[in-house]
Amino acid sequence: MSTDKSKHSKHAVTELLQAWSQGDEKALENLMPLVYEELRRVASSYLRQERSGHTLQTTALIHEAYLRLMEQNVNWQNRAHFFGVAAQAMRRVLVDYGRGQKAAKRGGPDLKIGIEDAEAVQQPRALDIIALDRALERLSAFDERQGRIVELRYFGGLTIQETAQVLGVSPATVKDDWSLAKAWLYREMAQG
């Protein structure tokens, strides 16, 4: 029964996104309650791993990312596409916030955030979000799909299957690229 409810909810999100793309403002009002908890889960997972004393709250991250999503003119394909674009928005919010904090402190410590594989058993490492963003941009220049996979999986919290759907590739391709991208980023961050 819960699987049917989950499928119905995913289908409802897709329908609302498509209606929103066609200019239906009521669809946007109905969409928020369906996606808010998942956006909150993703945002909370990032912020739980922040350095102590971090001031960006989960609600602020969600709202800022959501505002950025509303400003975009996107032809929404489905739920996974929405969360993929939401991943980009959250990444930009976190990076912008980190840069602002660093500038405010005149060279103070960078915003720290943990990076972890959703399936990893090991403890997450604390990383500098600005350095991660730079490394991710270098990865994307080298291999755009791997960069997008990291963005969707890490910043968007998408599963392998959802990421494959957004990118139009097989789950096996996502798994392989995800492994390669994590190794590349690890090496790049270790050198930096």
Q: Is residue 101 within 8 Å of residue 111, measured between CB atoms?
A: yes
Residue-wise pLDDT for 47-103, tens only, equals 665 555 567 788 888 888 888 888 878 888 888 888 888 878 888 888 888 777 766
Share of the chain above pLDDT 90, in %: 18
Q: Over the chain, what is the mean pLDDT?
A: 78
Bridge partners for 127 per DSSP: 113
- pLDDT over 80 at 16, yes or no: yes
pLDDT at site 4: 52
- pLDDT, one tens digit per residue, over 167-182 is 899 999 999 999 999 9
Which helix (DSSP H) or strand (DSSP E) does residue 112 occupy? strand 112-115
State the burial class of residue 25 (Cβ atoms within 10 Å of its Cβ: 0-12, 13-18, 19+).
exposed
Interval 104-132 mean pLDDT = 50
Residues 6+ apart with CB under 8 A from 75: 21
Tokens representing residue 53 in the block? 């004393």
Mean pLDDT of all residues in 4-26: 80
Closest-CA residue to 176 (of 142, 151, 152, 145): 145
- What's the predicted TM-score (pTM) here? 0.67
Say whether pLDDT at 108 is over 80.
no
